[in-house]
């Protein structure tokens, strides 16, 4: 019996497994004799998850992402790199759109021959429900007498079903790394693609294979507008260019503005078009633009303001007030120092660190902060902040006096100096004589 078991011609039953354990003085599990019964039924048909979002009305093809898509493709296909890839970036930067493009690409289907699984997690995911849905797609049939109930039970079954499959598992809109771990059920031939707005989640999941999605350039933004409203771009190039700059290169903002302008053009009234172009220069108007969205298991915001607000819930009161105060600084591509940020917000480094951790504030290689236009617009829409404005003016006056004649230092802070001068002129704040005269 032992020789037949060793050469693989037979598998010992329960009674013989117990005897073999006695012979070798080991448990059945240690001898590799514990055989779990899988509910998985093998299938040769590739799985294409119906949960993969479809491109929605009013959205355009991807602009300015060709090189980024190639880099992510190489990371997912490479045998040398980790099987874990992540994308992170601002709300509305296009992470889900990129994941959708990758999920349906022909080369992706060729490489991951057994298909693609997709789940959108959000802030409150129902992991067990999604794992059950994946199980159904993979042919796992629950026994009616003893249905699988726990997340762990489903994870075990799915792991067996995926053990020999080559599949791509896409985890969209992940807020906590712990939620992502529940879906780490693939076999050695499976790869994972995660999207998140939180940089720390991306780094912890994918390490060096975490890609930060940048805003579009002004040229790429104009290209997008040319696709959506070509006639308007031709007639109102300068006005549309101003809108592109006001968007900060955020694809969602550009698409929402393009849709709004397209509707106004249908009325064929120049007055309405001019009015729309003027309105969209106002942050509060851009924040209110709505986008059609499919139904999901959790509420997905329909405008930019609510998209950003979902991230704000991660902040405590101190960090929230810090975010609002930062709105007095000029937005990216302008930058500002940590000393300036601390002086204007009257807060601690911990609050600034928290904003960086959740992706609402960025820090560049020169250890300077930058605030994206959409985040700045959101903070501005929360109301005027005269205390922060006065602190900015006071900081700038002190800085200019301290560094009088040091052209390089003054040039580096030119954007916030001009911002302070503009605020003082608009609001009628007092500035000490000679405070900024040398600039």
Q: For helices 218-228 and 237-247, give the axis angle rounded to 10 degrees.
A: 120
Assess contact for 350 and 226: CB atoms under 8 A: no
What pLDDT, in 10s, does the model give residues 265-297? 887 788 889 999 999 999 999 998 877 655 444
Q: How confident is the model at residue 71 (pLDDT cuts 50, 70, 90)?
A: very high
Tokens in use for 136? 């159904």
Q: Are strands 362-363 and 369-370 parallel, antiparallel or unpaired?
A: antiparallel
Burial classification of residue 150, based on how many CB atoms lie within 10 Å of its CB (0-12 exposed, 13-18 middle, 19 or more buried): exposed
Structure confidence at residue 26 (pLDDT)? 62
Count of C-beta atoms within a 10 Å radius of residue 270: 11
Assign 80 to helix, strand or coil: coil
Please list the alpha-helical segments (H only) found in 267-413: 270-279, 283-288, 304-312, 317-325, 338-345, 349-357, 373-380, 386-402, 407-412
Least confident of 13-22, 27-36, 206-215: 27-36
Structure confidence at residue 320 (pLDDT)? 95
Alpha-carbon span 40 to 242, nearest angstrom: 57
Structure confidence at residue 184 (pLDDT)? 92
Count of C-beta atoms within a 10 Å radius of residue 14: 9
Structure confidence at residue 102 (pLDDT)? 92
Structure confidence at residue 249 (pLDDT)? 93
Assign 210 to helix, strand or coil: strand
Q: How confident is the model at residue 392 (pLDDT cuts 50, 70, 90)?
A: very high
pTM for the whole thing?
A: 0.80
In the Cβ-directed half-sphere of 129, how many Cα atoms lie within 13 Å? 7
For the domain made up of 305-427, give the CATH fold: Arc Repressor Mutant, subunit A (1.10.10)
**ω before 273 within 30° of 0 (cis)?**
no
Structure confidence at residue 28 (pLDDT)? 58
Please list the alpha-helical segments (H only) found in 78-194: 95-104, 106-111, 127-137, 151-162, 177-181
Q: How confident is the model at residue 44 (pLDDT cuts 50, 70, 90)?
A: low
Residue 47 pairs in a beta bridge with 115
Structure confidence at residue 36 (pLDDT)? 47
Assign 19 to helix, strand or coil: helix
Structure confidence at residue 238 (pLDDT)? 94
Least confident of 139-143, 205-209, 246-250, 291-295: 291-295
Residue 117 pairs in a beta bridge with 169
Beta strands in 187-309 (DSSP E): 191-196, 210-212
Count of C-beta atoms within a 10 Å radius of residue 435: 20
User: Which distant-in-sequence residues (6+ apart) come within 8 Å of 360 by Cβ?
Assistant: 308, 311, 312, 315, 323, 375
Assess contact for 89 and 213: CB atoms under 8 A: yes
For the domain made up of 47-212, give the CATH fold: Rossmann fold (3.40.50)
Nearest residue to 99 via CA among 79, 135, 73: 73
Q: For residues 186 and 298, which has the higher predicted lDDT (pLDDT)? A: 186
What pLDDT, in 10s, does the model give residues 354-376? 999 999 999 987 789 999 999 99
Structure confidence at residue 128 (pLDDT)? 87
What pLDDT, in 10s, does the model give residues 105-119? 888 888 899 999 999
| CATH 3.40.50.300 placement within the chain | 47-212
What pLDDT, in 10s, does the model give residues 104-163? 988 888 889 999 999 999 988 998 889 989 998 988 876 654 566 677 888 888 888 888
Assign 303 to helix, strand or coil: strand
Structure confidence at residue 146 (pLDDT)? 53
What pLDDT, in 10s, does the model give residues 300-350? 556 888 889 989 989 999 999 999 999 999 999 999 999 999 999 999 999
Q: For residues 195 and 9, which has the higher predicted lDDT (pLDDT)? A: 195
Alpha-carbon 409 to chain mean position: 35
| CATH 1.10.10.10 placement within the chain | 305-427
């Amino acid at each position: 019996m032992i020789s037949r078991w060793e050469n693989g011609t037979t598998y010992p039953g329960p009674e013989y497994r117990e005897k073999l354990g006695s012979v070798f003085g080991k448990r059945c599990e240690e001898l590799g004799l514990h055989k779990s019964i899988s509910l998985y039924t093998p299938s040769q048909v590739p799985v294409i998850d119906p949960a993969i979002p479809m491109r929605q009305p009013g959205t355009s093809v991807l602009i300015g992402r060709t090189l980024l898509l190639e880099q992510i493709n190489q990371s997912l296909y490479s045998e040398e790199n980790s099987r874990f890839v992540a994308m992170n970036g601002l709300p509305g930067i296009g992470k889900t759109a990129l994941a959708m493009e990758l999920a349906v690409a022909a080369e992706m289907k060729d490489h991951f021959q057994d298909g693609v699984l997709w789940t959108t997690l959000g802030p409150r995911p129902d992991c067990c429900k999604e794992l059950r849905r994946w199980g159904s797609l993979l042919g796992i049939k629950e026994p009616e007498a003893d249905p699988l109930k726990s997340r762990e039970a489903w994870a075990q079954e799915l792991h067996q079903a995926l053990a020999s499959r080559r599949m791509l598992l896409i985890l969209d809109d992940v807020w906590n790394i712990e939620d992502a771990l529940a879906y780490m059920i693939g076999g050695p031939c499976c790869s994972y693609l995660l999207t998140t707005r939180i940089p720390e989640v991306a780094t912890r999941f994918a390490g060096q294979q975490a890609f930060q999605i940048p805003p579009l350039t002004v040229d790429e933004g104009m290209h997008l507008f040319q696709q959506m409203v070509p006639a308007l771009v031709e007639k109102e190039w300068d006005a549309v260019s101003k809108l592109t700059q006001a968007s900060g290169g955020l694809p969602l903002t550009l698409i929402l503005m393009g849709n709004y302008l397209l509707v106004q053009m249908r009325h064929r009234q120049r007055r309405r078009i001019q009015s729309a172009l003027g309105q969209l220069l106002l942050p509060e108007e851009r924040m209110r633009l709505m986008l059609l969205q499919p139904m999901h298991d959790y509420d997905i915001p329909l405008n930019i303001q609510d998209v950003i607000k979902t991230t704000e819930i991660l902040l405590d009161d101190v960090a929230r007030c810090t975010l609002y105060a930062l709105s007095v600084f000029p937005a990216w591509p302008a930058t500002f120092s940590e000393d300036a940020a601390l002086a204007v917000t009257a807060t601690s480094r911990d609050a600034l660190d928290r904003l960086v951790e959740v992706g609402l504030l960025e820090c560049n290689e020169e250890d300077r902060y930058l605030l994206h236009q959409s985040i700045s617009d959101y903070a501005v829409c929360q109301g005027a902040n005269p205390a922060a404005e006065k602190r900015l003016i006071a900081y700038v006056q002190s800085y200019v006096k301290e560094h009088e004649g040091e052209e390089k230092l003054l040039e580096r802070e030119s954007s916030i100096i001009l911002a302070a001068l503009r605020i003082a002129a608009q609001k009628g704040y007092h500035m000490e004589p000679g405070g900024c005269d040398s600039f």
